């Protein structure tokens, strides 16, 4: 169950930078998107806490941050036309 909690935590962690980006792009809905970011951070932390009950903290943290970072990179490229140079893709893969 710990690994399921960890994946859920990583998925919620994507909501933080996504909420911040959307708040910047849609200033008329700034409060809504900041709230999305805050709620996402909260749930991410709760599920990371639950995952760490059965998964070593180092393993949980690296999977949580790595999964969320790569997913956020991909979303940036796909949804926001962020650049995807060979160097950036290489770093994301590593």
pLDDT in tens, 35-54: 999 999 999 999 999 999 99
Give the list of residues 6+ apart from residue 36 with CB closer than 8 angstroms, or none.
15, 18, 19, 22
Per-residue pLDDT band for 89 (boundaries 50, 70, 90) equals very high
In this prediction, residue 28 carries a pLDDT of 97
Is the overall model pTM greater than 0.85, yes or no? yes
Q: Are 19 and 33 in contact (CB under 8 A)?
A: yes
**Mean pLDDT value across residues 83-91:** 93
Share of the chain above pLDDT 90, in %: 97
């Amino acid at each position: 169950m710990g690994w399921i909690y960890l994946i859920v935590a990583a998925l919620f962690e994507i909501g933080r930078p996504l909420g911040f980006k959307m708040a910047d792009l849609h200033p008329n809905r700034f409060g809504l998107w900041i709230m999305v970011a805050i709620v996402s951070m909260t749930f991410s932390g709760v599920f990371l806490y639950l995952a760490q009950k059965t998964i070593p903290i180092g393993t949980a943290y690296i999977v949580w941050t790595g999964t969320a970072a790569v997913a956020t990179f991909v979303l940036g490229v796909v949804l926001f036309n962020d650049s995807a140079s060979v160097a950036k893709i290489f770093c994301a893969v590593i």
